[in-house]
């Protein structure tokens, strides 16, 4: 909503200036048309976001009755254009349990991430085709296991205990895992291998996934649909940062 108001204000300012310079009805029509197009694009993105968030909430309600108090919010929808969303291969949601104490204060619990893997044609002229989406809810423990497996192929370190300790007391950065201040002395940084952008190192993780290391992304190959989903390094950093919050 704030974006729409800002665009309208900009338009109100620009259109009169344009009219003074050109005194031309065509200039007014073009300015109004541009504002309408921008506004429609923003509205379409917002509507898409609300539809997918609702479906994500319904997925949790239908499949995970053990969660009766939770927060659910999209992690990577903000700032995306409609054309970017139509080609999106994964949408991530922050999910967190919470409780309310006797004084009415909210107590945050475990963090999780819900992945919505989209297949070709998930957006069409009628809106969102939810039959084209696969859902996977990942707990913090499972995320640590996933990142440990991924880090084994991304780095020279093969000791799972050392990797898990670095992930627990560190942060994921572009070049590896960096230990935060206050971590146990035995915790060490882990550097990711430098490989070409067209090179891939693969590990078979589970019945659902193969993980693929590429210098620019965290690749998840979905065995069911045979789709390779690339999670950019910035999104990977944000997911790990959220899920390791205490």
pLDDT tens column, 143-186 = 999 999 999 999 999 999 999 999 999 999 988 999 998 889 89
Do residues 121 and 129 make contact, with C-beta atoms less than 8 angstroms apart?
yes
Q: Which residue has the tokens 């338009």?
A: 11
H helices present in 64-178, as ranges: 82-86, 140-154, 160-169
Determine how many CB atoms are found less than 10 A away from the CB of residue 39: 15
Q: What is the pLDDT of residue 119?
A: 83
Q: Which two tokens stand for residue 48?
A: 């898409």
* Distance (Å, whole) CA 188 – CA 162: 8
Residue 135 has what pLDDT?
A: 95
Asked if residues 151 and 167 have their Cβ atoms less than 8 Å apart, the reply is yes
CA distance from start to end of the chain? 32
The confidence score (pLDDT) of residue 80 equals 52
Among 194, 190, 185, 224, residue whose Cα is nearest residue 208: 224
Q: Is residue 93 within 8 Å of residue 78, measured between CB atoms?
A: no
pLDDT of residue 43: 64
| Best mean pLDDT range from 196-200, 202-206, 238-242 | 202-206
| pLDDT tier at 205, thresholds 50, 70, 90 | very high
Count the residues in the chain.
Answer: 246
- Tokens 């390779």 -> residue: 228
Residues 118-129: what's their mean pLDDT? 80
CA–CA separation, 230 and 246 (whole Å): 27
- Tell me what the mean pLDDT of segment 13-41 comes to: 46
Domain ranges in the chain are 1-63, 64-243
- pLDDT of 53 > 60? The answer is yes
Per-residue pLDDT reduced to its tens digit, 65-119 = 999 999 999 887 654 555 555 566 888 999 999 999 999 999 999 999 999 998 8
Residue 145 has a pLDDT of 96
Q: How confident is the model at residue 29 (pLDDT cuts 50, 70, 90)?
A: very low
Using pLDDT thresholds of 50, 70 and 90, give the confidence band for residue 40: very low
Distance CA 188, CA 167 (A): 10
Residue 157 is inside which H or E element, if any? Answer: none
Instruction: Please give the average per-residue pLDDT across 215-230, as a whole number.
Output: 86
What pLDDT shows up at residue 7?
Answer: 44
pLDDT at 28: 40
* pLDDT band of 22, cuts 50, 70, 90: low
Decide if pLDDT at 24 tops 80: no
In the prediction, which pLDDT does 26 show? Answer: 52
- What the block records as the tokens of 64 is 């995970």
H or E segment to which residue 3 belongs: helix 2-22
Quick one: which of 80, 82, 101, 83 has its CA closest to 92?
Answer: 80
């Amino acid at each position: 909503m704030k974006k729409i108001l800002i665009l309208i204000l900009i338009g109100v300012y620009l259109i009169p200036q344009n009219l003074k310079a050109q005194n031309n009805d065509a200039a007014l029509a073009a300015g109004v048309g541009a504002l309408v197009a921008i506004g429609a694009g923003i509205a379409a993105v917002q509507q898409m976001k609300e539809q997918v968030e609702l479906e994500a909430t319904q997925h949790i309600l239908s499949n995970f009755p053990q969660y009766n108090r939770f927060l659910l919010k999209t992690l990577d929808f903000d700032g995306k254009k409609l054309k970017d969303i139509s080609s999106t291969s994964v949408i991530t949601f922050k999910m967190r349990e919470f409780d309310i104490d006797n004084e009415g204060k909210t107590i945050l619990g475990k963090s999780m991430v819900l992945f919505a893997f989209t297949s070709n044609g998930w957006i069409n002229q009628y809106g969102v085709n939810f039959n084209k989406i696969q859902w996977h809810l990942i707990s913090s423990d499972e995320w640590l296991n996933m990142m440990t497996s991924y880090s084994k192929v991304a780095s020279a370190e093969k000791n799972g205990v050392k990797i898990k300790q670095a992930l627990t007391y560190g942060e994921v950065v572009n070049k590896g895992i960096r230990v935060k201040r206050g971590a146990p002395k035995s915790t060490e940084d882990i550097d990711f291998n430098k490989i070409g952008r067209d090179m891939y190192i693969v590990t078979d993780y589970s019945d659902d996934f193969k993980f693929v290391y590429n210098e620019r992304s965290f690749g998840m190959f979905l065995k069911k649909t045979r789709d390779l989903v690339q999670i950019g390094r910035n999104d990977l950093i944000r997911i790990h940062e959220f899920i390791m919050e205490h």
